[in-house]
Structure 1
Amino acid sequence: MTAIMLAIFAVLLALSMPVGYALIIASGGAILWHGGTPTVLAVVKLFQPTQSFPLLAIPFFILAGSLMMSGTLGKRLVQLAAALVGRFHGGMGQVTVVGSTIFGGVSGSAVAEASALGSMLIPWQKREGYPAGFAAAVTASSATIAGLIPPSIPLILYSTVANVSIAALFTAGILPGLMLAAGMMVACYLSGRIRNFPRLTDRSHFPPFGKLLVSALPALAMPLFIVLLLRAGIATPTEVSVIAVFYALVVSAVVYRDLTFKSIYAALVGTVVTTGIVMLVITASSLVGHVLITERVPTMVAQWAQQTLGTMILIILMMNVIMLVVGMFLDLPAAILLLGPTFVAIGQAIGLDPIQLGIMICINLSIGLFTPPIGTTLFIGAAIARVPIGVVAKELWPFYLVAAAVLGLISYVPAFTMY
């Protein structure tokens, strides 16, 4: 049954069918072909994930991010980042990385971040004299930091697969996210120094730094606010997501005073569309998971890895390679939901902590977002910069090195996630 499902899925992907529909058709077709599962049970399995209370956090966090990013906040955060690092070599690239780190604490979505920041910073970098390919590359790669900084949507999805604490995952993702940001800033600095990129020395048209910092504090405080509420046990993740929406409304209406009915409507529409896409993949992955569990695929793969590879180092290396390859072809939510059950079983077999495994999975699959042939943030960056994908890909190699280095540390040094 699993072989039939994978074959159908591969054919449908080759025909450019959306992943969610391809998963449903492939798993449903395999179930009908095999005939061991009643149709009613398959339908129940398909809709069962929609009844999950923790998953309600996803649309609310998306809405909170949309409300915060729809007004003047984005411009102020970019100005703050420019005041901090714009004067250094590769300064505009570093501004993008700092902006991505801050925006990651607001949106929780790499795709939303690449679209919002890219539309502001890629044209700005081009005007300052930066190559369009480099501007798109730094935007595409740094946007993936949102997958680690709270409120990370990928970490919420993984928590439902592995049945682990969202608060623990949010806390564990902060240091790796900051490591990724620091490494990418170094890559921008070295590229700017070697290639003599312009530096942002004239800041006379910016407000004073102190004023910028104060105006950005409500946005900077949001991820800290979320983690504190969760770690202190004051509210559940779903309750925190609702509080985050209220917080975003108050900040936009009272502090920044740019909340309008038009912006609320746009944020609601964007949230519905994004949530619909994510939930389609979640429901489809539930049916796929039923097929895999019925045939004991996760258990058999875990046993094979232990017997064949033997050592924990080689098993972790195998997991990383598989995730990197899968991430090149599948969107992050679908890949997490598909690989999660199998890799959690392998992790339990070799004594790998599920929190550490969750961060590994998010970093691996985030790399796929800016890797050809189907990198979502890569396509967004190239489209905004109006350059071919190949031009952007040539500029990405320093960021691949940084991501690989951080991934290696997270995979083999548990202290970076279990602090």
Structure 2
Amino acid sequence: MTVHMVLGFIVFMLLAMPVGYSLVISGWAALSVFGPMPSSMAVMKIFQPTQSFPLLAIPFFILSGGLMMSGKLGQKLVGLASMLVGKYHGGLGQVSVVGSTVFGGVSGSSVAEASALGSMLIPWQKREGYPGAFGAAVTSSSSVIAGLMPPSIPLILFATVSNTSIAALFIAAVIPALLLAFGMMAACYFTGKRRGFPRLDFKYTRREVRDTFLSALPALLMPVFILVLLRAGIATPTEVSIIAVAYALLVSGLVYRDLNGQRVMAALVNTVITTGVVMLIIAAANIIGYILTSGGVPQAVAQWAVEYLKDPLLIILAINLLLLVIGMLLDLPAAILLLGPTLVTIANAIGLDLVQLGIMMCVNLSIGLFTPPIGTTLFVSAAIARENIGSVVKELVPFYLVALAVLLLVSYVPMLIIY
């Protein structure tokens, strides 16, 4: 069955069929046509994981992010970021990084981050004299911080395939996310200084800074609010996601006063589309996981790694190299759901903490989001900047180095994973 599934998946991908459909059809065919399972049971295997209660957190977190990001909140956050770092070398690039870090605590989606912030900041950077390719590079790379900052959708997906605490993953991801942010800000600073990028020379009074900070405070409190509720055990992740939607409605309606029916409907439509895509991949990954488990693939791979690689440090390196390649070919959610069960088996065999594995996978696969040939945030940002992919990739070199350095830290320095 495993061979039939893999061959079918490769054929469908070569025919340019979307990943979710390729996985579902190849998995169903392997079970019902070449395997012992009736078609009806194969269909049940596909829909079974979509009934998971913790997965309800995904649409509600997406909805809360959509409600908050589509209004005045974005302008307030960008204004605050400009006041904080705009005057330094590479300031507008640093504004993108700070904005991505804060927005990540609202949206939890790297692609949404790249689209929302890129539409605002890349044209502004180009007007101020920044190269369009550099603006696209900063946006595409810094937007992946949203995949780590709570409420991170990739971390929720990893929790479902590994039976790991979502709260523990959220808390453990904060330090790696901040390391990425500070590293990318440093890359912007030194690049801007070396190439003489213009700096913002606006003068702000203390009162203006204070007022801007207070106006952006509701958004800044969102990730803190989520972590406190989870850490204190006040609510489950699913309950927190529903509270987050209520919080977004209250902030948009009472604080910013920009909530209307059109915004709510747009956020609902986006939530349905995004959730549908994610759920399709989850459904497909379940049937693929069943086939692989039935064939003993995860156990065989884990046994091979322990017998031939032996050293846990070398096994971790091999895992990272595999993920870097897979991340360039598959989208992040699909890669987590497909590789998660096998890597969890390997982690248990070598004594690697599963929370550390989850953070390592998210950091690693996030690099694929701004790496050709499939890099989603790379293509979104390049399209907004109207730059070719090659010129953007050249500007991405320092950001690749930062991301790889953080990946090595989370892989080999367990003390950074605090939860």
TM-score where L is the length of structure 1: 0.98
Matches of 1:189 and 1:383, distance apart in 2? 25
- Residues 1:255 and 2:258 aligned together: no
Query: Which residue pairs with 1:115 in the alignment?
Result: 115
Cα offsets for 1:107-145 (capped at 9, x unmatched): 000000000000000001001100000000000000000
5 Å-filtered alignment, 1:359-374, equals 359-374=359-374
After TM superposition, the structure 1 stretch with the greater mean CA deviation from structure 2, 32-41 or 165-174, is 32-41
- Look up the SS of the partner of 1:192 in the other structure: helix
- Residue 170 of structure 2 corresponds to 170
Q: Does 1:226 align with 2:226?
A: yes
Post-superposition Cα deviations, 1:230-257, rounded to whole Å, max 9, x if no partner, equal 1111111111000000000000000011
Aligned residue number for residue 272 of structure 2: 272
TM-fit CA distance, 1:204: 5.9
State the match for 1:322 in structure 2.
322
Q: In structure 2, what is the Cα distance between the partners aligned to 1:415 and 1:254?
A: 42
Q: What are the equivalent positions in structure 2 for 1:113-152 lying under 5 Å apart?
A: 113-152=113-152
The match for 2:404 is 404
- Return the alpha-carbon distance in structure 2 between the equivalents of residues 69 and 372 of structure 1: 27
CA contact (8 A) 1:356 1:418 kept: no
User: Are positions 1:22 and 2:18 aligned together?
Assistant: no
Shift in Å, 1:311: 0.2
- Closer/same/farther in 2, CA of residues 144 and 200 from structure 1, 3 Å limit: same
The answer to whether the 8 Å contact 1:79/1:206 transfers is no
Distance in 2, Cα, partners of 1:308 & 1:177: 33
Task: Report 1:291-310 matches (<5 A).
Answer: 291-310=291-310
Residues 270-305 of structure 1, C-alpha deviation per residue, up to 9 Å, x if partnerless?
Answer: 111110111111101111111101101111000000
Aligned-residue offset at 1:11: 2.0
Identify if the C-alpha distance between structure 1 residues 87 and 268 changes in structure 2 by more than 3 Å, giving closer, same or farther: same
After TM superposition, the runs of 4+ consecutive aligned structure 1 residues lying more than 3 A away are 203-207
**What is the distance in 1 between the residues matched to 2:200 and 2:86?**
5
Aligned equivalents of 2:62 and 2:207: distance in 1? 30
Give the number of equivalent residue pairs.
419
Residue in 1 that maps onto 2:45: 45
Cα RMSD of the aligned pairs, angstroms, is 1.2
Write the mapping of 1:62-77 to structure 2, written as runs, cut at 5 A: 62-77=62-77
- Give the C-alpha shift of residue 2 in structure 1: 1.5
Residue 391 (structure 1) shift: 1.0
Answering whether residue 102 of structure 2 is matched by residue 102 of structure 1, we say yes
Query: Which amino acid in the other structure matches residue 149 of structure 1?
Result: M
Match of 2:11 in 1: 11
Residue 184 (structure 1) aligns with: 184
Partners of 2:154 and 2:35 in 1: CA distance = 34
CA displacement at 1:35 relative to structure 2 = 2.2
Structure 1 stretches lacking a partner, 5+ long: none
Deviations 1:124-176 (A, max 9, x none): 10011000000000000000001110000000000000001100000000000
Q: Secondary structure at the match of 2:221?
A: helix
- Determine the C-alpha separation between the residues in 2 that align with 1:231 and 1:101: 21
Structure 1 residues 327-349: Cα deviation after superposition (integer angstroms, max 9, x where no partner)? 10111110100000000000000
Structure 2: segments with no counterpart, 5+ residues: none
Question: 1:154: which partner in 2?
Answer: 154
Contact in 2 for aligned 1:148/1:174 (Cα 8 Å): yes
Q: Which amino acid aligns with 2:411?
A: S
In the other structure, the counterpart of 2:313 is: 313
Aligned residues of 2:83 and 2:204 also touching (Cα < 8 A): no
**For 2:39 and 2:271, how far apart are their aligned partners in 1?**
32
Q: In structure 1, how many angstroms separate the alpha carbons of the residues matched to 2:409 and 2:84? A: 28
SS of the equivalent of 1:34 reads coil
> How does 1:82-97 map onto structure 2 within 5 Å?
82-97=82-97
Amino-acid identity (%): 65
SS of structure 1 residue aligned to 2:234? coil
Secondary structure class of the residue paired with 1:291 = helix
1:38 Cα deviation after fit:
2.7
SS at match of 2:120: helix
Deviation at 1:202, TM superposition (A): 2.1
Letter in 2 for 1:381: S
Distance 2:408 2:3 in 1: 32
What is the distance in 2 between the residues matched to 1:39 and 1:388? 46
Contact preservation (8 Å) 1:301, 1:342: yes
Alpha-carbon contact 2:92-2:199 (below 8 Å) kept: yes
Could you tell me how far 1:37 is from its partner in structure 2?
A: 2.3
Is contact 1:136-1:381 (8 Å) kept? yes
